[in-house]
């Protein structure tokens, strides 16, 4: 090709302009990219569905109906989303400060244990006292479970990834331990606690459905975290710390107290998620009641670009996807484990899409 | 392709080592390179002068095949380089030494040289390569021993490892990007000797810089870039500093003239017996006083304790012993936030991560040392209106060129980023300003702006502690000056009491001049 001074080579120009479009990173582009990523994930997952001998179109139709097909389906999905949103927004706050708290699994579990214990120990209290008490207990338990690794990091330099991950096993196994011991239902044959009294169950929002009031707490958590992150000195500290720890030191931000506070906050939110799950869905503590919640919360946080308000749609997406997948399994016989494939592939696609957008900033 | 070099082929039988012709590159609306020609003859040292953003790096990226030019040709040793990759450029014999070295600190010099070099063999030929390093080291006067660990070496020696790597790998053309930024005057002159020895062998050097003095000193020819265009090319003999500065900036800028302080008042800050055991090198019992209306310029090669000293005054480090007294009040136990409130401002050298948070907005960056007190904080909330008002005022006051207070700071040019830092720290009207190489990496225009603001602050009665490793700056600015060497403060003197050469010797630890 002849290159003359002043004339441009068309190929490189086209490449540049595409980059500029992607690089703008307006909220519309972010949304469009997320939607594209989700669609791409569904397209990929069609392959294993076909391989299992089922028609992907039929399977996805079942999934869609299972998620949105009826009031029951929707309320079921909303209930499923609740713990994801709560724990996810806590994870997002930690990740904003570049603190890798992946201990949601354990924090949720101990939240469930402590709220169950409170309800089973004080069954005669009025529900207006018992429920807040149980939730506060759950929050404290989760905060303690996150505070432990935070203290280990600050005092002994143990990296929080390791300690939070390990405490997950301790937390989830503790559920089985208490259920096989003092909190188990006598003669049940399954590791579960006795049924909670009426006073220890979360009120139903919509009569004739299962929709409990946990989703309201999740909403409050999302909105509060949004304001904390963007409009308070504490949130400002988190953001500076997350962007550059040397800048944080320069700004006079105490790394240790910020670290500890955000871990406690995140743990408390996860603990509440655990409490809500036992008080709103099962009405008892069951072994494995929260299996995978903590890790999904990390995925939810990342899918929401660590932006509290965006955690809401992101958490709902995971909840509705899981609800739909159960229907897909029931009606078409596609293994529901494929949902984890969709979730996984979506995550990868979204993270790739974010790579296009470049560094996070508030648009 | 032979037709693409019509001018030189009949003038010289041997083509020049590097010939770039008519290089054009546009990024969006920015014309980074406009029809640039660059010719480097064998055995020549060519200086490439230009401000930040004048197109120097784009031109070098084109040469390395990291950026495709919109138009133009590159030929090296008579062979055209077209659509080439950085790998092709390196194989052809072009080698670039960046400001930030690519060395593994935990490894020895030898291991670093062998790293990623196919000639080192699948089973490493350590003995053979070590011999090569010793030979080259002797030949060029590099004084490198193959077995030393990189972490034990200073900046100057590390740079030499990069040079020995380039030499052993058969580099014909060596490109040095701002190589003297972190060197002491003594190290600079020995680097220049190495460069001259390199060129004496018929190889060539491109010396990228915005320091006119060094270019005049070292180079055979100089090419000046401004706003993507060549504004001057020619032998250095005919050029003067003032000419080059004007050609670089496009307007008259006097960098040398700084008025002496008019007001020299009472002592604002006294530092008594400051001791830092854990810093490297340790500081033991340093005392210093800063007076109102003066600049105390602290010279020294990086890593002699200046950073530790200034960070301790700013409250980012704890002193093991000693007192810092500001206006009669001891501030030693205060946290950084409280020191800011007490009137201590600090401009750190590291814009990339410390004095600025690149992915936060201009508005947040203007606020992030004061966010926790009124007017920016109101009760438990941040007052976003106060953030915005302050940002608007500062942007106007300090002429920060940006689309608005809400854009990320990283989208701004280096000079404008430094204006943000300056606006935040100086705009607070501090009593004491600690400035650590505030003009580092800035072009002459931005440098002048920063210096003017600092001088204005001085004349308003503040005390300034100005740390720099650049001799000229220290001599020009300091109403008083001192040198940090190995954790000690030496040669404290008034303006014009010590010559530049004497300060240079002090910076390398030679205290004989003082006696």
Measure in Å the smallest separation between the Cα of A254 and chain B Cα atoms: 9
Query: Inter-chain contact B336–A249, Cβ cutoff 8 Å?
Result: yes
Q: A257-270: per-residue pLDDT in tens?
A: 999 999 999 999 99
pLDDT at residue number B512? 65
Return the residue of A nearest to B371 by Cα. A233
Residues 6+ apart with CB under 8 A from B168: B113, B117, B129, B132, B133, B136
Query: Inter-chain contact B353–A249, Cβ cutoff 8 Å?
Result: no
Nearest to B33 by CA among B23, B46, B20: B23
Nearest to B24 among A5, A232, A250 (CB): A5
- C-alpha to C-alpha distance for A255 and A238, rounded to whole angstroms: 9
A203, part of any domain: yes
Put simply, whether B364 touches A (Cβ < 8 Å) is yes
Query: Inter-chain contact A246–B361, Cβ cutoff 8 Å?
Result: no
Nearest to A7 among B71, B335, B410 (CB): B71
- C-alpha to C-alpha distance for B46 and A304, rounded to whole angstroms: 52
| 3 state SS of B176 | strand
Contacts of A5 in chain B (CB under 8 A): 22, 24, 35, 71-72
- C-alpha to C-alpha distance for B224 and B215, rounded to whole angstroms: 11
Residue bearing the bigger pLDDT, B402 or A73: A73
Query: Inter-chain contact B336–A9, Cβ cutoff 8 Å?
Result: no
- C-alpha to C-alpha distance for B21 and B36, rounded to whole angstroms: 6
Query: Inter-chain contact A236–B72, Cβ cutoff 8 Å?
Result: no
- C-alpha to C-alpha distance for B325 and B29, rounded to whole angstroms: 52
Contacts of A247 in chain B (CB under 8 A): 353-357, 368
Contacts of B408 in chain A (CB under 8 A): 359, 361
pLDDT at residue number B65? 86
Give chain A's domain count: 1
| 3 state SS of A34 | helix
- C-alpha to C-alpha distance for A291 and A307, rounded to whole angstroms: 25
Q: Give Cα B26 to chain centroid, integer Å.
A: 27
Is the CB of residue A90 less than 8 Å from the CB of residue A104?
yes
ipTM: 0.78
Measure in Å the smallest separation between the Cα of B39 and chain A Cα atoms: 17
**DSSP state letters, B349-407:** S-TTTTS--TTSBHHHHHHTTTTTSTTTEETTEE-HHHHHHHHHHHHHHTT---S-TTS
Q: Could you list the mean pLDDT of each consecutive 10-residue stretch along chain B, which spans 515 residues? A: 46 77 82 88 90 80 88 89 85 84 86 84 84 88 86 84 88 88 79 90 89 86 88 85 77 62 80 87 89 91 87 91 90 90 91 87 91 86 90 90 86 85 92 91 81 91 89 85 90 85 80 60
Measure in Å the smallest separation between the Cα of A10 and chain B Cα atoms: 9
A329, part of any domain: yes
CATH of the domain at A176: 1.10.3470
Q: A188-230: per-residue pLDDT in tens?
A: 888 999 999 999 999 999 888 889 999 999 999 999 999 999 9
A284 — alpha (psi -120 to 50), left (phi > 0) or beta?
A: beta
Contacts of A360 in chain B (CB under 8 A): 359
Count of CB pairs separated by less than 8 Å, A with B: 103
Cβ-based interface (< 8 Å): residues of A facing B? 3-9, 12-13, 16, 20, 231-233, 235-236, 239-240, 243-244, 246-247, 249-252, 254, 359-362
A199, part of any domain: yes
Measure in Å the smallest separation between the Cα of A155 and chain B Cα atoms: 18
DSSP strand pairing (B377-378 vs B480-485): unpaired
Nearest to B26 among A8, A239, A361 (CB): A8
- C-alpha to C-alpha distance for A260 and A151, rounded to whole angstroms: 7
Return the residue of B nearest to A231 by Cα. B382
Nearest to B382 among A3, A233, A249 (CB): A233
Query: Inter-chain contact A236–B350, Cβ cutoff 8 Å?
Result: no
Question: Please, is A11 exposed, middle or buried when counting C-beta atoms within 10 Å of its C-beta (0-12, 13-18, 19+)?
Answer: exposed
Contacts of A14 in chain B (CB under 8 A): none
| Rounded percentage of chain A residues whose pLDDT exceeds 70 | 89
Helix axes A308-332, A56-68, angle to 10 degrees: 120
A218, part of any domain: yes
Measure in Å the smallest separation between the Cα of A350 and chain B Cα atoms: 20
Nearest to A98 by CA among A325, A255, A220, A291: A255
Residue bearing the bigger pLDDT, A236 or B262: A236
pLDDT at residue number B188? 86
Nearest to A361 among B339, B346, B359 (CB): B359
Whether the predicted pLDDT of A77 surpasses 90: yes
Phi, psi for residue B32 in degrees, rounded to 5: -70, -40
Is the CB of residue B247 less than 8 Å from the CB of residue B226?
yes
Buried b (16+ CB within 10 A) or exposed e, B494-513: ebeebeeebbbbbbebeeee
Q: Which domain holds residue A103?
A: 70-338
pLDDT at residue number A26? 55
Interface of B with A in 380-439 (CB under 8 A): 380-382, 384, 408, 410
Query: Inter-chain contact A233–B372, Cβ cutoff 8 Å?
Result: yes
Interface residue of B349, B371, B417 to substitute, partner A, most A CBs within 10 Å: B371
Handedness of CA A313, A318, A323, A327 (dihedral sign): positive
Structure tokens at B488: 């000690």
Q: Which residue has the tokens 């002459």?
A: B444
pLDDT at residue number A27? 60
Measure in Å the smallest separation between the Cα of A4 and chain B Cα atoms: 6
pLDDT at residue number A197? 94
What is the rounded average pLDDT of the residues A311-335? 88
Question: Cβ of A55: how many Cβ atoms within 10 Å?
Answer: 13
pLDDT at residue number A9? 32
DSSP strand pairing (B45-50 vs B221-226): parallel
Nearest to A243 among B337, B359, B369 (CB): B359
A118, part of any domain: yes
Measure in Å the smallest separation between the Cα of A25 and chain B Cα atoms: 12
Nearest to A244 among B28, B72, B353 (CB): B353
Measure in Å the smallest separation between the Cα of A162 and chain B Cα atoms: 25
Q: Which residues are bridge partners to B454 per DSSP?
A: none
Contacts of A361 in chain B (CB under 8 A): 359-361, 408
Question: Please, is B21 exposed, middle or buried when counting C-beta atoms within 10 Å of its C-beta (0-12, 13-18, 19+)?
Answer: buried
A9, part of any domain: no
Put simply, whether B343 touches A (Cβ < 8 Å) is no
A157, part of any domain: yes
End-to-end CA distance of chain A: 41
Return the residue of A nearest to B348 by Cα. A250
Return the residue of A nearest to B381 by Cα. A232
Query: Inter-chain contact B340–A252, Cβ cutoff 8 Å?
Result: yes
Return the residue of B nearest to A242 by Cα. B357
Measure in Å the smallest separation between the Cα of B354 and chain A Cα atoms: 4
A30, part of any domain: no
Return the residue of A nearest to B351 by Cα. A247
pLDDT at residue number B9? 45
Put simply, whether B361 touches A (Cβ < 8 Å) is yes
Return the residue of A nearest to B385 by Cα. A231
- C-alpha to C-alpha distance for B507 and B123, rounded to whole angstroms: 44
Put simply, whether B455 touches A (Cβ < 8 Å) is no
Residues 6+ apart with CB under 8 A from B336: A249, A250, A251, A252, B314, B315, B316
Query: Inter-chain contact B408–A361, Cβ cutoff 8 Å?
Result: yes
pLDDT at residue number A17? 34
């Amino acid at each position: 090709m002849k290159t003359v001074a002043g004339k441009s080579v068309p190929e490189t120009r086209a490449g540049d302009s595409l980059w500029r479009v992607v690089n703008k990173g307006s909220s519309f582009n972010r949304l469009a990219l997320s939607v594209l990523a989700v669609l791409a994930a569904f397209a990929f997952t069609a392959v294993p569905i076909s391989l299992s001998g089922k028609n992907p179109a039929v399977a996805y139709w079942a999934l869609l109906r299972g998620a949105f097909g009826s009031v029951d389906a929707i309320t079921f999905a909303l209930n499923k989303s609740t713990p994801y949103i709560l724990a996810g927004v806590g994870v997002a706050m930690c990740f904003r400060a570049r603190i890798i708290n992946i201990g949601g699994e354990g924090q949720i579990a101990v939240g469930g244990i402590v709220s169950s214990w409170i309800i089973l120990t004080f069954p005669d209290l009025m529900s207006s006292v018992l429920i807040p008490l149980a939730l506060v207990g759950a929050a404290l338990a989760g905060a303690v479970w996150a505070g432990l690794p935070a203290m280990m990091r600050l005092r002994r330099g143990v990296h929080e990834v390791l300690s939070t991950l390990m405490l997950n096993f301790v937390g989830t196994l503790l559920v089985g331990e208490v259920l096989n011991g003092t909190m188990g239902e006598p003669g049940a044959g399954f590791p579960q606690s006795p049924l909670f009294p009426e006073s220890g169950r979360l009120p139903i929002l919509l009569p004739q459905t299962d929709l409990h009031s946990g989703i309201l707490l999740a909403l409050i958590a999302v909105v509060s975290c949004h304001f904390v992150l963007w409009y308070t000195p504490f949130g400002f500290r988190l953001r500076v710390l997350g962007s550059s720890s040397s800048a944080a030191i320069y700004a006079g931000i105490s790394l240790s107290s910020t670290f500890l506070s955000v871990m406690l906050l995140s743990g408390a939110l996860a603990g509440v998620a655990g409490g809500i799950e036992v008080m709103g869905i099962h009405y008892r503590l069951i072994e494995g009641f929260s299996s995978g919640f903590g890790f999904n919360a990390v995925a939810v946080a990342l899918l929401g670009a660590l932006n509290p308000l965006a955690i809401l749609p992101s958490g709902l997406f995971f909840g509705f996807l899981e609800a739909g997948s159960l229907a897909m399994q029931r009606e078409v016989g596609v293994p529901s484990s494929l949902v984890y494939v969709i979730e996984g592939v979506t995550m990868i696609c979204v993270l790739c899409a974010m790579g296009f957008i470049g560094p996070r900033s508030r648009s | 392709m032979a037709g693409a070099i019509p001018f030189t082929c009949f003038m010289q039988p041997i083509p020049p080592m590097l010939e770039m012709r008519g290089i054009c590159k546009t990024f969006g609306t920015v014309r980074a390179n406009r029809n640039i020609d660059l010719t480097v003859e064998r055995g020549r040292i060519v200086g490439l002068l230009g401000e930040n953003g004048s197109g120097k790096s784009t031109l070098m990226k084109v040469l390395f095949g990291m950026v495709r030019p919109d138009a133009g040709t590159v030929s090296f040793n008579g062979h055209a380089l077209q659509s080439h990759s950085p790998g092709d450029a390196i194989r052809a014999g072009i080698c670039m030494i960046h400001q930030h070295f690519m060395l593994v600190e935990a490894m020895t010099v030898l291991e670093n040289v062998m790293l990623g070099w196919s000639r080192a063999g699948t089973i490493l030929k350590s003995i053979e390569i070590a011999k090569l390093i010793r030979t080259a080291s002797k030949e060029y006067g590099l004084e490198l021993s193959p077995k030393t660990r990189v972490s034990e070496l200073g900046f100057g020696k590390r740079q030499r490892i990069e040079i020995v790597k380039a030499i052993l790998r058969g580099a014909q053309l060596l490109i040095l990007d701002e190589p003297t930024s972190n060197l002491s005057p003594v190290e600079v002159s020995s680097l220049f000797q190495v460069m001259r020895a390199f060129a004496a062998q018929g190889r060539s050097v491109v010396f990228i810089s915005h320091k006119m003095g060094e270019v005049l000193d070292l180079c055979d020819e100089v090419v000046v870039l401004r706003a993507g265009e060549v504004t001057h090319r020619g032998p250095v003999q005919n050029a003067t500093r003032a000419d080059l500065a004007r050609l670089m900036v496009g307007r008259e800028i006097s960098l040398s003239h700084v008025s002496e302080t008019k007001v020299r008042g009472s002592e604002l800050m006294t530092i008594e017996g400051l001791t830092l055991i854990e810093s490297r090198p340790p500081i033991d019992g340093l005392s210093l006083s800063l007076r109102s209306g003066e600049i105390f310029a602290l010279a020294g090669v990086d890593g002699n304790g200046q950073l530790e000293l200034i960070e301790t005054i700013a409250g980012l480090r704890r002193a093991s012993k000693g007192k810092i007294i500001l206006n009669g009040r001891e501030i030693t136990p205060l946290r950084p936030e409280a020191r800011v409130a007490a009137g201590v401002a600090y401009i750190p050298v590291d814009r990339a991560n410390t004095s600025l948070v690149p992915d936060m907005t201009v508005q947040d960056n203007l606020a992030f040392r004061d966010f926790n007190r009124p007017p920016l904080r109101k009760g438990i909330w941040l007052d976003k209106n106060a953030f915005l008002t302050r940002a608007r005022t500062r942007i106007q006051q300090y002429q920060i060129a940006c689309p608005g207070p809400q854009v990320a700071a990283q989208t701004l040019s280096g000079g404008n980023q430094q204006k943000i830092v300056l606006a935040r720290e100086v705009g607070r009207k501090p009593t004491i300003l600690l400035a650590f190489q505030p003009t580092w990496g800035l072009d002459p225009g931005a440098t002048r702006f920063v210096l003017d603001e600092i001088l204005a602050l001085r004349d308003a009665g503040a005390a300034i502690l100005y740390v720099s490793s650049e001799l000229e700056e220290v001599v020009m600015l300091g109403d008083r000056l001192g040198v940090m060497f190995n954790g000690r403060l030496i040669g404290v003197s008034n303006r014009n009491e010590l010559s530049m050469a004497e300060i240079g010797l002090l910076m390398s630890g030679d205290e004989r001049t003082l006696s």
